[in-house]
């Protein structure tokens, strides 16, 4: 017999057990790694009074400001907005937000309720974000990524009826495990597994797929313990449970609902996940408490020029202070390339070409506030995400405030790139809210009756970034050029990382940039 190859084994694990099991197997074999953060950086050596100008007070900019001031640099930060945090942003009651076309929304949520238009969850293996939260006193709480009692939904499956994830997941896993067990018993895998491996694989399938002793996936109390019962076990007279019916295997396959099952199993969505108590901008405020005194707000950069002696930046005071100039020895530029490409600068040709050609992802989020938490009270859904093939793509239920009576906000739509984003981006904010209500009603009929108010953000219309994350045309070709120190300027941000769109990417990019810039400055001073 031929023994299993690594590739064949990983393929089988991925097919039968899902991406989560495959990821853990890959980690064991050395093929997958989490964030490479290894602890606080140490910028050793005397900078001899050098001044650093940081452009942008998002997480990358504030990380640079914090670490470089701690190393002894004079630091000045220019920020376009009236607040720090960049895309680490939370909308609450009384907040106003104006899109690129001039449309203004005023948030009318109940006090204490909020929506995070940008980042909304923190993976536990994003070690830099978690470490800074610890150091900066940012309180975290669990974010419920996966709730097996939430729904998976397709308009063309099961008559458009939303299905509980636990039912589809368990039945899909069981039916697939039975098919694989049959293939093993029919000697269809002789070329990839040994006889001993066959027995172990069958044993694992009986456990994983909830198969009986005959390697069959059938209706039973055992399968119902995973997918749910027709009648729940109870106490006293008539307490015996009744097993639930299984979904037809052909329907499960043809429904394509399995496309949603591994969404939460990628390494950046493994449990536990976290969120700051009270809103994602808690992370931004943690940094701002440390470096807020260095930041000039409402500062719109209009020119970035460098020569052999230093950096000169012209900026407009949006609060009415006219045009100003800031100078420094070096610059850490965290302005998104979507904006930097529109600013007058004299960056080198190769870097300038990358800056000018990088497109940005579009994304749309819609926050809906309802009079009561009907998803909990009527449907026993506490946190987690429902997935759908409709343009809203998903509904995320709040991971806090459980069992409370008052109004609550859920994420009623979250699109990422593609036609759904373009569709919602073309709408006015109130039209996006209406679409979210219309589509969400197909999953939760209570939507209309319980709706209170809503707000929406399309990232291609956010004036200070024009998109939610950078897209590489050819990362292999351009990445190393983009991250290099360009005379006296080094760029940083999520777009200059392999964790695009994540806060972790922004922080790691910044730490790498300031470490290299510091080394250059210290070496030149020797």
Q: Which helix (H) or strand (E) holds 273?
A: strand 273-276
CB 303 within 8 A of CB 78: no
| CB contact at 8 A, 88 and 284 | yes
**C-alpha distances in angstroms, 404 versus 91, 321, 365, 411?**
21, 47, 24, 18
Q: In this structure, how many other beta carbons lie within 10 angstroms of the beta carbon of residue 145?
A: 21
**What pLDDT, on a 0 to 100 scale, did the predictor assign at position 27?**
37
Ordered domains of the chain (ranges, CATH) = 6-33+158-255 (1.20.1440.240), 51-86+284-358+470-525 (3.50.50.60), 91-149+271-279+363-461 (3.90.660.10)
Contact yes or no for 339/332 (Cβ under 8 A):
no
Which residues, 6+ apart, have CB-to-CB distance to 237 below 8 Å?
none
CA dist list (Å): 160 to 204, 482, 520: 34, 47, 61
Sheet strand arrangement including 122-123: 122-123, 273-276, 140-143
Distance CA 470, CA 502 (A): 11
Q: Is 22 exposed, middle or buried (0-12, 13-18, 19+ CB in 10 A)?
A: buried
Nearest to 467 by CA among 364, 380, 390, 377: 364
What is the C-alpha to C-alpha distance for residues 114 and 45, in angstroms, rounded to an integer?
44
Query: b/e map of 221-255 (b: 16 or more CB within 10 Å)?
Result: eebbebbbeeeeeeeeeeeeeebbebbebeebeeb
pLDDT of res. 9: 44
Which pLDDT does position 171 carry in this prediction? 97
451-458/469-470 β-pairing: unpaired
* Rounded distance between C-alpha atoms, residue 434 and residue 242, angstroms: 41
Q: Closest Cα partner for 8 from 22, 28, 27? A: 22
Q: Among residues 445, 409, 116, which one has the least CA distance to residue 281?
A: 116
Q: How many CB atoms lie within 10 A of CB 192?
A: 17
What residues have CB less than 8 Å from 188, skipping those under 6 apart? none
Record the pTM. 0.90
User: Among 121, 138, 163, 153, which Cα is nearest to 266's?
Assistant: 121
Report the distance separating Cα 137 and Cα 121, nearest Å: 17
Q: Say how far apart CA 290 and CA 288 lie, in whole Å.
A: 5
Q: And the tokens for 101? A: 């076309």
Q: Longest Cα pair distance anywhere in the chain, in angstroms?
A: 87
Structure tokens at 512: 């790498």
The single residue listed with the structure tokens 């027995």 is 199
Q: Which residue has the tokens 């769109």?
A: 501
CA atoms within 13 A of residue 466's CA, in its CB half-sphere: 13
Is 92 exposed, middle or buried, given 0-12, 13-18 or 19+ CB atoms closer than 10 A?
middle
Do 389 and 155 contact (CB within 8 A), yes or no? yes
Local confidence pLDDT in tens for the 526 residues of the chain: 344 444 444 444 444 444 334 333 333 333 344 688 988 999 999 999 999 999 999 999 999 999 999 999 999 999 999 999 999 999 999 999 999 999 999 999 999 999 999 999 999 999 999 999 999 999 999 999 999 999 999 999 999 999 999 999 999 999 999 999 998 888 777 666 777 788 899 999 999 999 999 999 999 999 999 999 999 999 999 999 999 999 999 999 999 999 999 888 888 899 999 999 999 999 999 999 999 999 999 999 999 999 999 999 999 999 998 999 999 999 999 999 999 999 999 999 999 999 999 999 999 999 999 999 999 999 999 999 999 999 999 999 999 999 999 899 999 999 998 999 999 999 999 999 999 999 999 999 999 999 999 999 999 999 999 999 999 999 999 999 999 999 999 999 999 999 999 999 999 999 999 999 999 999 987 5
DSSP designation for 220: S
CA pair distance 345, 341, nearest whole angstrom:
8
Omega before residue 272 within 30° of 0, cis: yes
pLDDT at 21: 40
Helices (H) and strands (E) in the chain — how many of each?
A: 17, 27
Host H or E run for residue 513: helix 503-525
Asked if residues 386 and 394 have their Cβ atoms less than 8 Å apart, the reply is yes
């Amino acid at each position: 017999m031929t023994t299993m190859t690594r590739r064949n084994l990983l393929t089988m694990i991925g097919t039968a057990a899902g991406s989560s099991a495959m990821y853990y197997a890959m980690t064991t074999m050395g093929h997958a790694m989490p964030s490479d953060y290894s602890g606080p950086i140490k910028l050793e050596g005397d900078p001899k009074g050098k001044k650093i100008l940081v452009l942008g007070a998002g997480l990358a900019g504030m990380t640079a400001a914090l670490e470089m001031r701690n190393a002894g640099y004079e630091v000045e930060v220019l920020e376009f907005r009236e607040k720090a945090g960049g895309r680490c942003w939370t909308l609450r009651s009384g907040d106003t937000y104006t899109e690129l076309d001039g449309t203004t929304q005023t948030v009318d949520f109940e006090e204490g309720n909020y929506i995070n238009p940008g980042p909304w969850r923190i993976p536990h293996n994003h070690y830099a974000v978690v470490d800074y939260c610890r150091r900066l006193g940012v309180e975290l709480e669990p974010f419920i990524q996966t709730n097996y009692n939430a729904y998976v939904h397709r308009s063309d499956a099961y008559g458009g009826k939303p299905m509980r994830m636990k039912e589809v997941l368990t039945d899909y896993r069981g039916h697939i495990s039975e098919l694989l067990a049959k293939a093993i018993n029919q000697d269809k895998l002789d070329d990839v597994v040994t006889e001993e491996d066959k027995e172990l694989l069958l044993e694992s399938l009986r456990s994983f797929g909830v198969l009986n002793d005959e390697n069959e996936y059938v209706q039973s109390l055992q399968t119902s313990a995973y997918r749910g019962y027709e009648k729940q076990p109870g106490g006293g007279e008539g307490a015996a449970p009744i097993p639930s019916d299984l979904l037809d295997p052909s329907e499960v396959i043809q429904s394509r609902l399995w496309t949603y099952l591994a969404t939460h199993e990628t390494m950046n969505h493994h449990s536990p996940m976290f969120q700051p108590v009270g809103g994602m901008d808690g992370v931004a405020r943690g940094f701002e408490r440390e470096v807020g005194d260095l930041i000039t707000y409402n500062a719109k950069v209009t020119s970035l020029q460098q020569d052999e002696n230093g950096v000169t930046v012209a900026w407009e005071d949006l609060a009415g202070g006219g045009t100003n100039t800031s100078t420094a020895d070096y610059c850490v530029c965290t302005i998104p390339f979507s904006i930097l490409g529109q600013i007058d600068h004299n960056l080198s040709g190769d870097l300038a070409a990358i800056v000018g050609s990088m497109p940005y992802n579009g994304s749309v989020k819609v926050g809906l506030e309802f009079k009561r938490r009907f998803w909990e009270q009527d449907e026993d859904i506490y946190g987690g995400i429902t997935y759908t093939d409709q343009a809203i793509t998903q509904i995320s239920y709040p991971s806090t405030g459980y069992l409370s009576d008052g109004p609550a906000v859920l994420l009623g739509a979250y699109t990422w790139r593609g036609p759904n984003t373009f569709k919602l981006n073309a709408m006015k904010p109130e039209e996006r809210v209406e679409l979210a209500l219309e589509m969400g009603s197909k999953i939760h009929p209570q939507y209309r009756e319980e709706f209170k108010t809503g707000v929406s953000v399309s990232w291609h219309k956010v004036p200070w970034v024009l998109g939610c994350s950078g897209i590489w045309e050819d990362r292999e070709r351009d990445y190393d050029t983009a991250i290099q120190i360009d005379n006296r300027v080094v760029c940083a941000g999520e777009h200059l990382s392999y964790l695009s769109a994540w806060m972790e990417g922004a922080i790691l990019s910044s730490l790498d940039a300031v470490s290299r810039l510091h080394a250059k400055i210290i070496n030149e001073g020797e």
